[in-house]
Each structure stands twice: as structure tokens, then as C-alpha cells.
């Protein structure tokens, strides 16, 4: 159960077992740099900071828009209530997925800050230790059919939990040093009824493999996809 701290213009939700009394500063990369607790960073739409909390390593991400509209309005979203903010939705989705047995980062805290009719948002989630995404791994070497079956099984668990990952690609699937499969980046994702969207998730993932194969010559072939589907359809975890 998340705790919350709210003012007229801001709300912070947090798991007090993972972070102690977070303030606005905890959602600033400058704060962590000055505290000497930055472990690293990654570039995407913006900078994701990897920071050391009291009990856990975390990834701090500021919500930014993509696409053409994102060039005009970088990080503001229409405010329609605190629980409709993207950070709260992602925090709750991660909680639901973990309770459903899916390997996703632990949700730590989120902050939404109101700006007149709009809001800005940030999220802190668990940094998966010693993990790399499939793109990075497959540039170096191929993976066994057993690992692909494990990837498929995790996607099946996610779908069984009713979660539509609208940006499922091989950048968002990680393997740690024990070859445990993790799924990340659930911004704009949602719980959804029906099943037609599940095939669309898989189609998007297959396109991602093929795209990276043409761009980077990754160590991947169609038989690997068949192993993934075996795991998805009921293979080994």
C-alpha cells in the first residue's frame, strides 16, 4: 500500500518500505548528484538517473512527450485528476504486475506537480541489478531456446494479468546476470479486457527483432521467435 503526501499543487506517492519521507528534491537529478549518490545514467527522451536510495538502487525518470507534438510541448500533460496522471497509473500498474507474478521493477515513488491546467511528473522505480536489454546482449551473442521460452512465458504472465504493453520491444526486455527475464517501461500501458491486443503486442515485438536485425546485425533468427512463442503458449518459465 502506497503512502501519499499532498499539497494543493503537488502529490507524492511512495512505498515507505523502500524510501523514507520523499520530498520534491528526491525527483531531481541535481539533488542526487550533489548527494554523491548517482550510479549512472541513460539517455532516451531525456536522462534517466540511476541513484542509490537508503535500501535500494533506483531509476529516476521524468515524463517527456515523444513525436512531433513532444517538440512543442516537452513535458506537460493535461490535468484530469491526480489518479489519472501518468506517473500514478504506471506506479499502480507495476504494483499489479508484481502481485501477478510478472518480473517488473518494484515501484518506489512517483510525483505529480500541477501547473495551472497541466501537470509534470516523475517516477522512481527499482534499478534491476546487472541487467542489459536484449539489443545490447544480442549484439554480442545469441541466446538459447530456453531463454527465449522464458521471455515468452513472462509475456504470457503479463497478458494473463490483463496488461497491454503498448510499446513492447526488445529495448524493454532485460536479462540480468542470472538470465532472469524482466519487462520494463510501462508508461501509457494499461489493464485491458479482451484478447485482440495481445497479438498486437507480439506483432510489435517481432517487428522490433526484425528492425534491430537490419540495423545492427544482432544474433537472432526466426527459430528464436518460434522458441519464444512456445514459451508464450505454455513453455517453461
Q: Which residues are catalytic?
A: 167
Phi, psi dihedrals of residue 196, rounded to the nearest 5°: -60, -30
CA distance 232 to 237: 9
β pairing state of 10-14 and 38-43: unpaired
- Residue owning grid cell 495481445: 198
Phi, psi torsion values for 227, nearest 5 degrees: -65, -40
Lookup: cell for 198: 495481445
Closest CA to 110 of 127, 92, 128: 92
CB atoms within 10 A of CB 39: 13
Q: In 10 A of CB 170, how many CB atoms?
A: 21
Amino acid at each position: 500500500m502506497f503512502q501519499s503526501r499532498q499539497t494543493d499543487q503537488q502529490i507524492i506517492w511512495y512505498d515507505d518500505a523502500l524510501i523514507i519521507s520523499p520530498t520534491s528534491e528526491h525527483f531531481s537529478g541535481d539533488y542526487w548528484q550533489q548527494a554523491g549518490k548517482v550510479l549512472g545514467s541513460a539517455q532516451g527522451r531525456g536522462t534517466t538517473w540511476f541513484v542509490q536510495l537508503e535500501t535500494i538502487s533506483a531509476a529516476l525518470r521524468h515524463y517527456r512527450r515523444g513525436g512531433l507534438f513532444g517538440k512543442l510541448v516537452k513535458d506537460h500533460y493535461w490535468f484530469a485528476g491526480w489518479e489519472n496522471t501518468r506517473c500514478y497509473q504506471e506506479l499502480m500498474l507495476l504494483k499489479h504486475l508484481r502481485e501477478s507474478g510478472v518480473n517488473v521493477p518494484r515501484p518506489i515513488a512517483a510525483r505529480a506537480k500541477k501547473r495551472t491546467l497541466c501537470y509534470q511528473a516523475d517516477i522512481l522505480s527499482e534499478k534491476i541489478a546487472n541487467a542489459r536489454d536484449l539489443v545490447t546482449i544480442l549484439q554480442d551473442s545469441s541466446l538459447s531456446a530456453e531463454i527465449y521460452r522464458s521471455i515468452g512465458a513472462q509475456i504470457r504472465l503479463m497478458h494473463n494479468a490483463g496488461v497491454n504493453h503498448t510499446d513492447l520491444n526488445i529495448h524493454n526486455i532485460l536479462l540480468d546476470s542470472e538470465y532472469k527475464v524482466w519487462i520494463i517501461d510501462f508508461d501509457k500501458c494499461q489493464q485491458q479486457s479482451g484478447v485482440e491486443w495481445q497479438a498486437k503486442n507480439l506483432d510489435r515485438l517481432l517487428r522490433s527483432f526484425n528492425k534491430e536485425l537490419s540495423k545492427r546485425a544482432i544474433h537472432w533468427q526466426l527459430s528464436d521467435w518460434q522458441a519464444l512463442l512456445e514459451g508464450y503458449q505454455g513453455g517453461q518459465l
